[in-house]
Amino acid sequence: MKVSKHFLVTGGAGFLGSHLCEKLLDQGHEVLCVDNFYTGQKDNIIKLMDNPYFETMRHDITFPLYVETDNIFNLACPASPIHYQFDPVQTTKTSVHGAINMLGLAKRVKAKIFQASTSEVYGDPECHPQPEGYWGNVNPVGLRACYDEGKRCAETLFFDYHRQHGLKIKVARIFNTYGPKMALNDGRVVSNFIIQSLQNQPITIYGDGSQTRSFCYVDDLIDAFIKTMESADEFTGPVNLGNPKEFSIRELAETIIDMTGSSSKLEFKPLPENDPCQRRPDISLARDVLKWEPSTPLEQGLKPTIAYFDKILSNR
C-alpha cells in the first residue's frame, strides 16, 4: 500500500479523532495520533495499533510539539460540558495555547492545518438557522465561556496566522455529532438518553424538552472533514458542518425509547445556564463549496450507536 501523505491528528484517541484516524489510514495515509488521554480512550484506537502506518504519542498540546508532518487536524479539546467545565482554565488553555502551538508547528513545517471549531461559537443564537456570517451571542463570563470563548479565540488565531504568515488554514464549525465510540460519561444528550433507555432509567431532560438540536452521524462528519481539508487553498472557512434537520430534545428522547423498547419515563430538570434554545446549521456554504451534505437519517445512525452502547453495558 502506497502512503501518499502524513497526517497529525491531535485528540486522535477521542470520539471524532479516532474515526478520522481510521478513515485516513483506509485512504492509504500515514497517521500520527497525539492525545493526552484526558477524554480520549485507548480502546478507540486499539485496533489501529497493528497498522504500520499508524503511530500514537501521549502529549498535551498546551506544550510545544516538534514533529514533521504535511497536514494537521487540530481536534484536541474536551467537548462535552461535564468535561470542559471540570477544569475550565485547562479547557481555555487547550483551545488557545494549543492553537498557538499547532499553528507554530504548521508554520515551521509548512503544513496545512484544520481547526475543529464548534457551533458553540454562536452561543444562544438570536438568528435561526445559524450562518457562518453570524457573530454569535456568547456570555463571556458564564460557565460555558471556557469552551465557547476558547474556540472563538482559536479561530481568531487561525485567521491571524493566515493573514500574517500565509498559513494554509481550514476552520470548521462542528454541530452536534453522534455515533459509536462516544464516551459513556461524556454527558451529551444522545449518549445520555441511550444509556438511560438501555437501563430502563428515567430519561433526564433539562427544561421542557422543546429546545432543539440537529444531529449529524459521525461518518457524515468525517467525510466533511476530509472534503474540507482537500478543498482549494483559498477556501479557509469558517464552514458549518452538521445536519440541518432539526429535532426537539423531547422528540429525540421518545425516538430512542421507542428504538430500544425501553420502559424509561421522561424526567424534567431545570435548564442549565446559557444552554442554547435552538441550534441548527445553515450548510449552504458546505453544499456549494464542498459539495457535501449529510446522508444518514437520525434513526439509521442511532441503530449502530445504540448497538455500540448496548455492547459496552453488556460487557460491564
Please list the active-site residues: 147
CA angle 91, 107, 285 (to 5 degrees): 70
> In 10 A of CB 171, how many CB atoms?
23
Place of cell 445504540: 306
C-alpha pair distances (Å), 92 with each of 61, 103, 104? 12, 16, 18
Instruction: Name residue 267's beta-bridge partners.
Output: 204
Residue for grid cell 437520525: 298
138-143-144 Cα angle (round to 5): 50
153: phi then psi, degrees, rounded to nearest 5: -65, -40
Task: Give the CA distances from residue 25 to residues 30, 32, 48, 174, 230, in Å, rounded to whole numbers and listed in that order.
Answer: 6, 10, 9, 22, 16
Return all residues near 164 (Cβ < 8 A) that are at least 6 apart: none
CB 117 within 8 A of CB 238: yes
